[in-house]
Amino acid sequence: MSLPSISNLATENVSAMQPPPILNSSNQNSHPMKTHGKAGSHKTLIDNFIEKLQQEFSMKDIGNLNYFLRLEVTHSKTGIFLSQMKYARDVLLRADLLDSKPIATPMYLTITRPNITHAVNSMSQFMHAPRDQHFQAVKRILRYVKGTLHFGLHINPSNNLDISVYFDTDRAGCLDTSRSTSSYAIFIGNNLVSWTSKKQFTVSRSSAELEYRALALTAAEVNGC
């Protein structure tokens, strides 16, 4: 499967300290869409929002977010950096691979690593009946994680709130089911906010059908942004 445009966008514009793209191809036929939205980041607006929440719920403002649901947040003058170093270490420790030799093939931790979404998606399909080759692939994933614990996403502050969307699909890329895989990347300004790589539910009978399925998946996500 090849989704070069999405992989390149995620690596060049959004990711901090990301590895080189894992998907390389001369095909640049991803499908861009643009839409526009307005939002406010003014301190007064944020304070008013917090005050409204406190009126409805028993809560208090404890300052900047640093750690939440295995997601680490580091604040700096250039924005925020999202990573999962502690979670990655815990996974390696449970698998007894904390001292393993790192490798350079990216796979895993998709919350902060969009360039490996497809690899994890592929392995997840065999989690209920894995074979030896699947265990070897997962071991390779974990060895990659060992060598890239510090990787994550850097989100920059920006006044640009335009929503840009890129989507693509292969044709019958799954050798087991002949189904196609759709992918999209959604940006607000220059920051990547949503992405996926997902196998289509049925076999498409034409290239037009598989493209429309990919577009429908993407449009549904955009409506939720």
Say if residue 6's pLDDT is above 50: no
Only one residue has tokens 């502050």, namely 157
What pLDDT shows up at residue 46? 82
Nearest to 39 by CA among 193, 183, 154, 153: 193
Higher-pLDDT residue of 4 and 174 is 174
- The count of residues in the chain is 225
DSSP class per residue in 131-193: -HHHHHHHHHHHHHHHHTTT-EEEE---S---EEEEEEE-SS--TTT---EEEEEEEETTEEE
What pLDDT shows up at residue 41? 53
Higher-pLDDT residue of 119 and 139 is 139
Per-residue pLDDT of 202-220, as tens digits, reads: 898 888 998 999 999 999 9
Say if residue 4's pLDDT is above 70: no
* Residue 2 pLDDT class (50, 70, 90 cuts): very low
Say if residue 161's pLDDT is above 50: yes
Percentage of residues in the chain having pLDDT higher than 70: 76
Higher-pLDDT residue of 211 and 126 is 211
Per-residue pLDDT of 70-121, as tens digits, reads: 788 888 888 888 888 888 788 788 777 777 776 554 456 677 777 677 777 7
Show Cβ contacts of residue 76 under 8 Å, excluding neighbours closer than 6 positions: none
Domain residue extents for the chain: 4-41+66-223
- pTM to 2 decimals? 0.56
What pLDDT shows up at residue 30? 54
